[in-house]
Amino acid sequence: MAEGVKGGGRVAAMFIVAIFLASIIFIGLSASDPQNDRKMFREGMADLMSKDRYRNSTWSALVIDLSTGKVLYNLKSGTMMVPGSTTKLYSSTAVMQYLGTDFVTETPVYSVGVVENGHLNGTLVLKASWDLNMGGRGALDGILNITDVDHGDANALGYCQLTGEDPLAGLDFLAQQVASTGMTSADQVIIDMGAWGEQDIGKEHLVGPMAINDNLIDIVINATTVGQTATCYFRPFTSAYSVACDVVTIDSGEDIIVVHQDSQGKLSVAGQIAAGHSTVRTFTVTDPASFARTLFIEALERNGVSIGADETGANLQAEIPAGYGSSAAIARMSSVPLREDVKLTLKVSQNFHADSYIAMLSYYTGSTDFTSGMVVMKSQMDALGINTGQVCLTDGEGGSAEDRFSAQAVCQLLRQAWSAQLNQSLLDALPILGVDGSLADSATNGSEAIGHVFAKTGTRAGSDHLNQRSLLFTKALAGYVHTSRGNWVAFALFVNDVPIGSIEQMMQVGSDLGYLSELIYHDY
């Protein structure tokens, strides 16, 4: 669920974790007809809102018929709400609308210089090309392996599910092609980040055209015997980093683990882990270009091509030879189709990828500024005929304090995307209730709605130091339901400002929204 704490993002780790516009019914939505509101959903909404945990919270909801635009249920649907990661519906739709669902980018490697007796007197240049997976997660086979809890949430939730594939598979694939040319050595390696480079957009992650393993170091911690130090290993393994493990195994209790960087490349993992437990924490790479350069040099050397330069040195962007792309690339790798990456982004709420979509909109329209990507996203919403008057966004993943939109606004997005033939790509990408992604565990046991609700979750939380608790700024759910009557409806459910005292209480709010989506399935 990559939601809450930061970004669009993750639940305030845990405890580290308006604009009100006069609303009008959007074009294509008609006034609500109370006769069409079924009893179970109406009563379910009323019952939940009356619960003590929601005493001071704000609710908003809308359900519309996709074929007619008829409003089936309406509760304060024009109120602008904190959206959390439902924001990713906007960035994902915009990038697919602009680039196309089948869009593929290619990452080339160029040989710049003269090869004599297998040695390149010059530089190998890998041109970073906005492949957000670079062969990881099984991307070389064209389809990404996606777990239900992504490593982007490991620090927030205290666990994740790593994919089994080697995150360095793509770099090895390129290195093997270089070696196949007969090259056995080269003087230097440089990653060309282009004019866009890497940008700090106020998040934990930098945004740029190069990413290996989402620019994360995955640290796996395994308990040993009580009183002894746990074992730690990390991936992708590289000489750019080392890990010192000072995590003590305890008999029972909460796993409390902190990762910090002692000095350049030296990571310290400290805390406690309960006997029998295994968990994952991550560290965000601070220099993605140099990180990628080191990893590529190591891949080349694994495949028989030695490099004369220091493998852990800085990426020398300024020393890229002029006009290096005039000759054909000696290695090349294709990304997965964009729709596959959007599936990853929406299934697990991947913050880095969602913000990268805004950067890509900027890059592919000739700009080098993240904010201009937001302007392009607005143009794509305009092209779809979406009224953005009830939308305020400053990022692609839903983690900014300013982010707001209404249930009306997101339902119109869902309906217009459906009409624009983006529906299959969205359906394939959205978490499915009781089946996968961030909705895998949100269904009532045995519910008939399992497999029929396709929706994006949203979570954002922060600390309430006064009361020694957290405040759930939002829990949200928006998407499609194929109802028990065979109809397709779009819906949006928001609840803002819910005091919570634990991860379990936050998860209960998510389960409440999942339950409401089940009632939508039964009623409409």
Mean pLDDT of 230-243: 96
Rounded-to-10 torsion of CA 23, 29, 31, 33:
-140
pLDDT for residue 6 is more than 90: no
Mean pLDDT of 493-515: 95
Q: Tell me the C-alpha to C-alpha distance, in Å, between residue 235 and each of 213, 216, 282, 300.
A: 9, 9, 10, 18
Out of 16-30, 115-129, 234-248, least confident range:
16-30
Per-residue pLDDT band for 503 (boundaries 50, 70, 90) equals confident
> Are residue 349 and residue 320 in the same domain, yes or no?
no
Residue owning tokens 């990713």: 88
Q: Which of 284, 315, 334 is the last residue of a domain?
A: 334
pLDDT digit string (tens) for 73-123? 999 999 999 999 999 999 999 999 999 999 999 999 999 999 999 999 999
For residue 374, the enclosing domain spans: 34-101+338-523
pLDDT for residue 133 is more than 90: yes
Residue owning tokens 């490593």: 151
Q: Which of 523, 173, 134, 101 is nearest to 340 (CA)?
A: 101
Q: Which of 334, 359, 376 is the last residue of a domain?
A: 334
> Are residue 489 and residue 367 in the same domain, yes or no?
yes
pLDDT for residue 14 is more than 60: no
Three state DSSP letters for 136-177:
HHHHHHCCCCCCCCCHHHHHHHCCCCCCCCCCCHHHHHHHHH
Q: Which of 298, 315, 334 is the last residue of a domain?
A: 334
Residue 1 lies in a domain: no
Q: What is the pLDDT of residue 60?
A: 98
pLDDT digit string (tens) for 457-484? 999 999 999 999 999 999 999 999 999 9
Three state DSSP letters for 97-151:
HHHCCCCCCEEEEEEEEEEECCEEEEEEEEECCCECCCCHHHHHHCCCCCCCCCH
pLDDT digit string (tens) for 25-41? 333 333 444 444 468 99
> Are residue 95 and residue 205 in the same domain, yes or no?
no
Q: What is the pLDDT of residue 327?
A: 86
Mean residue pLDDT of the chain comes to 92
Mean pLDDT of 378-383: 96
Residue 8 lies in a domain: no
Per-residue pLDDT band for 9 (boundaries 50, 70, 90) equals very low
Structure tokens at 432: 């499915």
Residue 348 lies in a domain: yes
What gap in Å lies between CA 461 and CA 470, rounded to an integer?
A: 7
pLDDT for residue 273 is more than 80: yes
> Are residue 347 and residue 213 in the same domain, yes or no?
no
Mean pLDDT of 161-166: 94
Mean pLDDT of 443-451: 95
Residue 28 lies in a domain: no
Mean pLDDT of 183-207: 96
pLDDT digit string (tens) for 403-440? 999 999 999 999 999 988 888 999 999 999 999 999 99
Q: Which of 215, 216, 156 is nearest to 8 (CA)?
A: 156
Question: Does residue 414 contact residue 490 with C-beta atoms inside 8 Å?
Answer: yes
What is the total count of domains within the chain? 2
pLDDT cut 90: percent of the chain above it: 88
pLDDT for residue 24 is more than 70: no
Residue 359 lies in a domain: yes
pLDDT digit string (tens) for 250-268? 999 999 999 999 888 999 9
> Are residue 387 and residue 292 in the same domain, yes or no?
no
Residue 13 lies in a domain: no
pLDDT digit string (tens) for 332-373? 999 999 999 999 999 999 999 999 999 999 999 999 999 999
> Are residue 229 and residue 319 in the same domain, yes or no?
yes
The enclosing domain of 345 has a CATH number of 3.40.710.10
Structure tokens at 321: 């030879």
Residue 18 lies in a domain: no
Residue 413 lies in a domain: yes
What gap in Å lies between CA 90 and CA 1, rounded to an integer?
A: 17
> Are residue 115 and residue 240 in the same domain, yes or no?
yes
Neighbours of 94 (CB within 10 A): 28
> Are residue 59 and residue 159 in the same domain, yes or no?
no
Per-residue pLDDT band for 3 (boundaries 50, 70, 90) equals low
> Are residue 122 and residue 82 in the same domain, yes or no?
no
The enclosing domain of 181 has a CATH number of 3.50.80.20
> Are residue 276 and residue 414 in the same domain, yes or no?
no
Q: What is the pLDDT of residue 21?
A: 29
pLDDT digit string (tens) for 170-183? 999 999 999 999 99
> Are residue 345 and residue 327 in the same domain, yes or no?
no
> Are residue 62 and residue 123 in the same domain, yes or no?
no
